[in-house]
Amino acid sequence: MPEPAPRTPAQRAAHARGVAAEGRAARLLEAQGFAIVARRARTKAGEIDLIARRGDLLVFCEVKQRASLAAAAESLLTRQQRRIAAAAEAWLAERPELSPLDMRFDAILIAGTAAEHLPGAFEAG
């Protein structure tokens, strides 16, 4: 499923900021020993920003960039958490070999030069 191209200058700028934030989050995970398995993984249930693996741990990671870390944390809404969990389930359904791994839902918050990794930021379901 290809991602639709941003149409307006504002959409293109927002897309570029999102891609840059996800790249920064990926580097943060890689510095912690994770291998990035997928970026912007699209499923019928929605998109997962980053999927990373370290050993027997598979992490589904939501990246939030806002003006402050607090605003980024507040933007991870319950309905979004459910969508990410459903997208993770759909993604795993196509990769049954990964189902025995331990799984976790993380968030990486970005504001200016600050970044914070929240392991286990939310639970599925």
pLDDT digits (tens, 9 = 90+) for 17-74: 889 999 999 999 999 999 999 999 999 999 999 999 999 999 999 999 999 999 999 9
Q: CATH no. for residue 93?
A: 3.40.1350.10
Q: What are 118's two structure tokens?
A: 């929240």
Please check whether residue 4 lies inside any domain of the structure.
no
| Site of tokens 């996800």 | 22
3: pLDDT strictly greater than 70: no
> What's the structural domain count of the chain?
1
Alpha-carbon distances of 74 from 33, 56, 69, rounded to whole Å: 27, 30, 9
How sure is the predictor about 125, in pLDDT bands with cuts at 50, 70 and 90? low
The answer to whether residue 101 is domain-embedded is yes
Predicted structure pTM score: 0.90
Examine residue 3 and state whether it is found in any structural domain, yes or no.
no
User: What is the token pair recorded at 122?
Assistant: 């939310």
For the record, the structure tokens of 51 come out as: 């999927």
Specify if 1 maps to a domain: no
